[in-house]
Structure formats: structure tokens, C-alpha cells
């Protein structure tokens, strides 16, 4: 069995409708991507798995959906205006720009360009600070426009709504605020397909705790998030690991931070950061806004800023990890078989229904009836656009766990052939028993 290279994943995504370059007919837009018919469903299924686990199935986490465009003062308070920068160096030979920390230093102040191999001397090429946020302006009169920013993370929308959530729900510590949403960063270096992009989506929780309990909940969320990747969406545990941040890597406000990393074909890379943020965010927003964002403990009769544990996962990176983890190439009867062995919970289609002979109206009619009967129980697709071998290969490549084939015998014995994606074993199942059969399988 052959595991995936990035080129395999990119090819599959384009061929089968998972991911397309944005504005492709106009030449594309650098590091911006669109999700196609299958990609949109797979992405939604990943987000739904996260949402069900942390919002629907728990009573200590509340959901919000905050704005993409935010007041400039929000980012003054959070530190993004002053500190959310990349150190930028430009190669004058190939005109490419790079983060200086990604370059090889051949001698003091001289770096090697990874594109054209020429040397970049910082004496002649000054290092510049580049803010990653995307600025915009609100208003209709040019001389009175208000500066605003597209959010670079979903977190700040939850912090500035802390008092609103607390006052309307009366939650007691510990509790969390969660949201899924898009963020925007004008990244200098973008690469590895959808791994690092300028528009991306996050699944993020701000979990508020008593200050003394922050270490305990930090450890809890590390283990819980690792469990979710393995048990809820089926990523191989061997391809996941923690990478604890060294002291010199930590943000000035962070008490601790760990990355959940995945073993991509291009190396171990971050899927998620889990940070113990202290009380930095709420105290800063209270200072800049003049609003009291402290929590009142009615048992101890005291007010204080809760500490925050933040598990922040990238939807697009998780999507890429899921594809990477599920992609297989196998040799079956001397021919290559490409199959996505996706977890059944998140596969875009759960079942495909085919008529073996599309020139037999009675077989087609029965196949469509089975499709209609099953489509309200789970995501099902009907397809009669190719020979049965091609139909199987098509569903294998997009990760559909089961295929139903309606044949001539189905008209007389009332049974169909159900094929398992992973084992390729086939079983005759009565049409009347299909719902119960799949209920057991899923």
C-alpha cells in the first residue's frame, strides 16, 4: 500500500471536486481556495463532528458567531496592531519575499534565497516588519471612513462578548465559549496547498477557569483534543504528536502552549494550538474599553479575571490531514486502486446506489426507489453514468463506505449486492432490510 504525497492529494482534490483554485478562470488568486461539491460536504462533516462534541453534547460550552470585521481598538487591545508582524526579507534577483526565520544564514547578515540560490545581504536589503492583518474601511464618505480589520483569529470575538454571554446565560466557572468561523492573514509565505492560506477557517474554544485551576484544565484539553482527532474523525494516532513550546517561543502572555502536530508527507506540522493564556485577553479588553469584564464569584464574594485555556484548531489543516491519512493506493488484480479510507462519520457520501444495467428500465426504477428510501437516513448518491467497474472506482476515490448494486436477480429475489469500500467484500442483502443493515454498519 502506497501512502500519499502532497501531489497525490492535490491531484485527487482537483479530479474529484474537493478543492479548486479560487477564481481559476481568471488565473487564480494566490493562496486562496474554493471547496467543491465533495470538499464542501467533507469540510462540513468535520466541523459538525467538532460542533456536536463540544457544543451539542456538553452543557459547559456555549456557542457564538461573531463578526468577521472588527473595530480597530479590538486589535490595539489584543496586541495585534503592534506585534502581529512577520520579519520580511526580499530577494532582489527573483523578487520573492520570505520570512527571515525560514532562510538559511550562510554568514552573519547574509541569507541564501531558497528560490534562486542567490545571496541576500541585509546591508543592501533591509529587513522589514510586515503586519499580517487585512485592513479595510467602513463608511460612505471618504474623509470620515472608519478603519477596521478583517479578524486574524476568531478568539477576539469571544473575548469582547464575554460579559454579554455571562450576563445572558449566568454560567458558572468553568465554562467555555466556542465558535467556528473564517479568519484572514496576509501571509508572506504560503505553500503546501491548503495548509497555509490567507483565508482560513478555525474551530476555537475559549475555556474560562479559576486561576488556580488553569494547569489542570490545560492538561485536560491536551488529552481531550488528541482523543477527538483519533476517536471522532478517525486519524491514525501514530500520525499525531504533541510539541510543547519552549519558553522562548511563548507569547509574552502565555503560561504554556502545545501544538498538536500531524505527520504530513512534507513533515510534522501544526494542526492545532492549545494555549494557557492567563488573564491577558480579558484584562486588556477591560483596560482599553473601560468595561468591567471580571467574573463575580458569589460564593467567595469577589471579582477577578478568569484564566483562559484555548484549544484552537484549523479546519482546512484538519481537512488536509484527513485526506492525507485516508489516501491509499493498492494493487488489486494487477491494477492500481486509489481509495480514501475515510472515517464513516465524515465521508461525504455514506452510500452509493447503482443499477447494473441502465438500459433496463425496471432495474433503474428499482435502484432509484432504493435511493429515495435511503436518502432521508444518511447522505446517499445515485449514479448510472458509467460501467459498474468505473462507478466502484469513482466511489472508492471519494471515500464512500458502501455501494449498492441493483441487478437482474434483484427483480426476482428482492435482494441487492452491498460492497464494502475497505474490504471490497460483497454481500447480498434484502431490500427491505437495508435500513437496518446500514443502521448496524454506521
**Residue 361 cell numbers, joined:** 428500465
How high is the pLDDT of residue 118? Answer: 83
Dihedral through CA 290, CA 292, CA 293, CA 294, nearest 10? 140
The C-alpha cell at 99 is 520570512
Same domain for 213 and 140 = yes
pLDDT at 89: 77
Residue 332 lies in a domain: no
The domain in which residue 362 lies consists of 349-441
10 belongs to a structural domain: yes
Asked whether the whole model's pTM tops 0.85, one would answer: yes
What is the count of structural domains for the chain?
Answer: 3
With H, G, I as helix, E, B as strand and everything else as coil, classify residue 20. Answer: strand
- CATH number of the domain to which 255 belongs: 3.30.930.10
Q: In the structure, what pLDDT confidence band is assigned to residue 1 with cuts at 50, 70 and 90?
A: very low
The 3-state DSSP class for residue 192 equals coil
Judgement on whether residues 300 and 410 belong to the same structural domain of the protein: no
CATH assignment of the domain containing 432: 3.40.50.800
For residue 154, the SS3 value is coil
Backbone angles phi, psi at 166, to 5 degrees: -60, -45
- In a domain, residue 115? The reply is yes
- Whether 207 is in a domain gets the answer yes
Q: What average pLDDT score do residues 339-343 get?
A: 96
Q: Is residue 335 part of a domain?
A: no
288 falls within a domain: yes
pLDDT tens-digit series, residues 389-412: 999 999 999 999 999 999 999 999
Give the model's confidence band at 191: pLDDT under 50 very low, under 70 low, under 90 confident, else very high: confident
* Cα dihedral: 344, 42, 192, 149 (round 10): -140
Tell me, yes or no, whether 278 lies in a domain. yes
Q: How many helices (H) and strands (E) does the chain have?
A: 13, 27
Using N-to-C axis directions, what is the helix angle for 6-16 and 388-398, rounded to 10°?
120
Average pLDDT over residues 339-359: 96
Tell me what pLDDT residue 140 has. Answer: 77
Return the percentage of the chain with pLDDT > 70, whole number: 95
Q: Are residues 317 and 229 in the same domain?
A: yes
For the residues 143-162, what does the mean pLDDT come to?
A: 91
Overall residue count recorded for the chain in this entry:
442
Residues 272 and 218 in one domain: yes
Q: Could you give the CA distance from residue 37 to residue 35 in angstroms, rounded to a whole number?
A: 7
CB burial of 319-357 (b: ≥16 within 10 Å; e: otherwise) equals bbbbbbbbbbeeeeeeeebbbbbbbeebbbbbbbbbbbb
- Residue 251 and residue 166 in one domain: yes
Residue 109 sits in the same domain as residue 239: no
Is residue 211 located within the same domain as residue 262?
A: yes
**And the C-alpha cell for 127?**
529587513
Question: β-pairing, 61-63 with 175-184?
Answer: parallel
Average pLDDT, the chain: 92
The pLDDT of residue 105 is: 81
Residue 337 forms part of a structural domain: no
41 pLDDT more than 80: yes
Q: Are the CB atoms for 132 and 107 separated by under 8 Å?
A: no
Residues 279 and 408 in one domain: no
Mean pLDDT on 34-41 = 97
What pLDDT is recorded for position 93?
80
The verdict on 98 and 144 lying in the same domain is no
Does one domain contain both 148 and 120? no
Question: In 321-401, at which residue ranges do the beta strands (DSSP E only) sit?
Answer: 327-332, 335-340, 351-355, 380-382
Strands (E), 335-406: 335-340, 351-355, 380-382, 402-406
* Mean pLDDT within 254-271: 94
Residues 165 and 255 in one domain: yes
- State whether 178 and 305 are in the same domain: yes
Predicted pLDDT at 81: 82
- With contact defined as beta carbons under 8 Å apart, do 113 and 104 qualify? no
Amino acid at each position: 500500500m502506497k501512502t500519499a504525497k502532497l501531489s497525490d492529494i492535490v491531484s485527487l482534490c482537483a479530479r474529484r471536486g474537493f478543492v479548486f483554485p479560487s477564481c481559476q478562470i481568471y488565473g487564480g488568486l494566490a493562496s486562496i481556495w474554493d471547496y467543491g461539491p465533495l470538499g464542501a460536504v467533507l469540510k462540513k462533516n468535520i466541523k459538525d463532528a467538532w460542533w456536536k462534541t463540544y457544543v451539542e453534547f456538553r452543557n459547559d460550552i456555549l456557542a457564538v458567531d461573531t463578526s468577521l470585521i472588527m473595530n480597530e481598538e479590538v486589535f490595539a487591545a489584543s496586541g495585534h496592531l503592534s506585534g502581529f508582524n512577520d520579519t520580511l526579507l526580499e530577494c532582489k534577483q527573483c523578487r520573492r519575499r520570505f520570512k527571515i526565520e525560514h532562510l538559511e544564514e550562510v554568514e552573519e547578515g547574509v541569507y541564501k534565497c531558497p528560490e534562486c540560490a542567490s545571496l541576500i545581504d541585509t546591508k543592501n536589503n533591509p529587513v522589514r516588519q510586515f503586519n499580517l492583518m487585512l485592513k479595510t474601511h467602513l463608511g460612505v464618505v471618504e474623509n470620515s471612513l472608519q478603519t477596521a480589520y478583517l479578524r486574524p483569529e476568531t478568539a477576539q470575538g469571544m473575548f469582547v462578548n464575554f460579559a454579554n454571554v455571562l450576563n445572558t446565560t449566568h454560567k458558572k466557572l468553568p465554562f467555555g465559549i466556542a465558535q467556528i468561523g473564517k479568519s484572514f492573514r496576509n501571509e508572506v509565505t504560503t505553500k503546501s496547498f491548503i495548509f497555509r492560506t490567507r483565508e482560513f477557517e478555525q474551530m476555537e474554544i475559549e475555556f474560562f477557569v479559576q486561576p488556580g485551576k488553569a494547569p489542570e484544565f490545560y492538561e485536560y484539553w491536551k488529552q481531550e483534543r488528541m482523543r477527538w482527532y483519533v476517536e471522532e474523525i478517525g486519524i491514525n494516532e501514530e500520525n499525531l504528536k504533541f510539541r510543547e513550546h519552549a519558553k522562548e517561543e511563548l507569547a509574552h502572555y502565555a503560561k504554556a502552549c502545545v501544538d498538536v502536530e500531524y505527520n504530513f508527507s512534507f513533515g510534522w506540522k501544526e494542526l492545532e494550538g492549545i494555549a494557557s493564556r492567563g488573564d491577558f485577553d480579558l484584562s486588556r479588553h477591560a483596560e482599553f474599553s473601560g468595561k468591567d469584564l471580571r467574573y463575580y464569584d458569589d460564593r467567595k464574594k469577589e471579582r477577578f479575571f478568569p484564566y483562559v485555556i484555548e484549544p484552537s484548531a484549523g479546519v482546512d489543516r484538519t481537512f488536509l490531514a484527513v485526506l492525507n491519512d485516508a489516501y491509499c493506493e493498492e494493487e488489486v488484480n494487477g491494477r492500481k486502486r486509489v481509495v480514501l479510507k475515510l472515517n464513516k462519520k465524515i465521508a461525504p457520501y455514506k452510500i452509493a446506489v447503482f443499477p447494473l444495467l441502465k438500459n433496463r428500465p425496471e432495474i433503474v426504477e428499482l435502484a432509484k426507489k432504493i435511493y429515495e428510501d435511503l436518502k432521508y437516513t444518511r447522505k446517499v448518491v445515485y449514479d448510472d453514468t458509467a460501467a459498474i467497474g468505473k462507478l466502484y472506482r469513482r466511489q472508492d476515490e471519494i471515500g464512500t463506505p458502501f455501494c449498492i448494486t441493483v441487478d437482474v436477480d434483484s427483480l426476482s429475489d428482492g435482494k441487492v449486492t452491498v460492497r464494502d469500500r475497505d474490504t471490497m467484500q460483497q454481500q447480498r442483502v434484502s431490500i427491505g432490510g437495508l435500513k437496518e443493515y446500514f443502521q448496524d454498519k454506521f
